[in-house]
């Protein structure tokens, strides 16, 4: 019983570390994308440039899809 407790505890610690790394990587990607969006200033008259925000949306959608694949196929329960 005691060995089972330590094995479960170790798995929880490893999972928390993996989630912390994944969260920090996702945050970094979103911050880099946001800085590019904010750096895109309008250039006079005409239609606004949406290239920066479009990239940020694609990154966010990709992160959501990647989590769905992980949750569906790779997560062990």
Q: Give the per-residue pLDDT at 20.
A: 80
- Cβ pair 49, 40 in contact under 8 A: yes
**Which alpha helices (H) appear in 1-77, and where do they start and end?**
2-39, 51-69
Q: Give the per-residue pLDDT at 21.
A: 83
Closest C-alpha among 71, 29, 42, 37 to residue 54: 37
Q: What is the distance between the alpha carbons of residues 76 and 70, in angstroms, rounded to a whole number?
A: 10
Q: What is the distance between the alpha carbons of residues 10 and 6, in angstroms, rounded to a whole number?
A: 6
* pLDDT tens, position by position, 2-46: 667 666 666 777 777 777 888 888 888 777 777 766 666 666 676
């Amino acid at each position: 019983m005691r060995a089972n407790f330590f094995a479960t505890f170790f798995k929880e610690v490893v999972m928390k570390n993996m989630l912390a790394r994944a969260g920090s990587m996702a945050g970094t990607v979103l911050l880099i994308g946001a800085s590019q969006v904010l750096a895109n200033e309008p250039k006079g008259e005409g239609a606004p440039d949406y290239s920066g925000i479009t990239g940020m949306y694609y990154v966010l959608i990709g992160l959501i899809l990647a989590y769905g694949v992980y949750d569906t196929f790779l997560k062990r329960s």
